[in-house]
Chain A
Amino acid sequence: MLDLPELTSDERSRYEWQLSVSDFGEEGQCRLKNATVLVSRIGGVGGTAAMQLAAAGIGRLVLAHAGNLRIDDLNRQLLMTTDWIGKPRVESAVRRLRELNPHVEIETVAENVSDSNAAELVGRCDVVVSAAPLFAERLLMNREAVRQQKPLVDSAMYELEGRLMTIVPGRTPCLSCLYPEPPPNWKREFPVFSAVSSTVGSLAAMEVIKLIAGIGESLTGRLLTFDLRDMSFRTVPIARQPDCAVCGSLSHRVDQHEKLGENAEKRSMPE
C-alpha cells in the first residue's frame, strides 16, 4: 500500500460530489492527489484534459507547450483567454487552472516535447497524456513512455472524429504497434471544433483518473474511434505486434489490476 497523502477538509468539500463515485471514494481521491500527470501540448485536446484533471484534483500537472497565444487558437484552446494573445500559452493555462483549483501544483515547460527533453519530462510523471498535433512528437512520447514503463493515453482528433487509446507498456499495444511508421501526408493544420477536441480531452482525462485510482476498465488493447457527425462510437481490438520496434522487446505483464505506483518493482525494463 502506498503512503498516500491525506485530504484536507477543504479538499473533502471540494471533491464531495465525486467522492461518492462507487469504488473511488477517499482512497481514490488520495491517489489522484499523490499523482503527477504530464500533458504534452495544452491545445484543444490537451488543454481540456488538463482542465478536467485539475478539476478532479490531480496532485501535480506538468504542462509542456511552446509558443505564444494566437487569435486562431481561441476557437478550441479553452485554457486561453483573449487578453493573452501574444503571450506564452503555458502562462494563460496556469492562471486558468489555478483559478479553477488552487490545490493543484502546476509545473510548466514552455517547450514542445523533443529528443532533448522527453526523457526528463516523462521521468517526472506517473502518467502521460499525449496530445500533440504532430506524429513525430506523439511517436517520441510513445517511445519514451514505453522505455520508462509509464502509462500513456494517446488522444487525437480530426474534423468531427476522435480516437483514443490507453497504453500500458509491456501489457498493451503501443502507438507504434498501431502506426508502425508516420503517415506521409499528415498536415499540421487540421479542421477542428472545440466541442470535438474537448470531447477527446475529457475522455483522455477519464482514462487517466481510472488508471490512477484503479477503477473501471481501461481502454487498453482497444482503440476508441468516434465520429460526432453521426454520433457513432466503436472500439476496435488492437493486438501487440511482436516485432514492434518500440515495445516488441518488452516482456508481457499480467498485473491487470495494479494501481499506479504499487507494483513499480514488477515492471520489466526493455532489453
Chain B
Amino acid sequence: MKLRVQYMAQIRAAVGRAEEVIEIPEGSCLADLLNQLATTHDAAKAHFVTETGQARPSLLIVVNDAAVPAREAATTVLHSDDVVTLLPPIAGG
C-alpha cells in the first residue's frame, strides 16, 4: 500500500525533501514505517528510531490529524493513503 509521509524541520533538511510517497506492505504499523525510513534515509535515522529500532520517544508523529505517541508506534496499524507527518522537537528561540 502507499501512503504519504511529510517531513518537518531538521528531518526535512536531513532527508532533502518535504514529503514523499512511500510503499509499505499491507498491515504495516507505524514502527515498521519508521524503520523502513531509517534504512532509506540514513542521515535522518536518529530522528526516526533509537539504537534498538524503537520509535524515537521525542519524535512527534501525526497520522492524518491525530498525534500518536511514539510508544504506540508498534501497535498503530497504517492504512492506504494515510498521511504521516514526522516532526522532530524544535527549540529555536
> B-contacting residues of A (Cβ < 8 Å)?
41, 43-46, 131-135, 138, 155-159, 161, 163, 178-186, 190, 192, 197, 223, 225, 227, 236-239, 241
Contacts and interface: CB of A to CB of B under 8 A. Distances in A.
Given A135-B89, A156-B92, A237-B66, A183 B9 contact: no
A241 B93 contact: no
A69 to B, nearest CB: 16
Contacts of A180: 57-58
B40 interface: no
Interface in B59-79: 59-60, 62, 65-67, 69
Contacts of A183: 47, 56, 58-59, 88-89
Given A180-B57, A184-B46, A241 B69 contact: yes
B76 to A, nearest CB: 14
A190 B69 contact: no
Contact of B90 (A43, A161, A239): A161
A199 to B, nearest CB: 12
Given A161-B9, A181-B57, A156 B91 contact: yes
Among B56, B67, B87, B92, find the residue whose CB has the most chain A CB atoms closer than 10 A.
B92
A178 B9 contact: no
Contacts of B93: 41, 43-46, 131-133, 155-157, 197
B47, B67, B88, B91: most-surrounded residue (chain A CB, <10 A) = B91
A13 B58 CA distance: 48
A130 to B, nearest CB: 8
B8 interface: yes
A44 to B, nearest CB: 7
Given A183-B58, A238-B67, A161 B8 contact: yes
Contacts of A185: 10, 46-47
Interface string B30-53: 000000000000000011000000
B92 A192 contact: yes
Contacts of B47: 183, 185
Contacts of B92: 44-45, 133, 156-158, 190, 192, 197
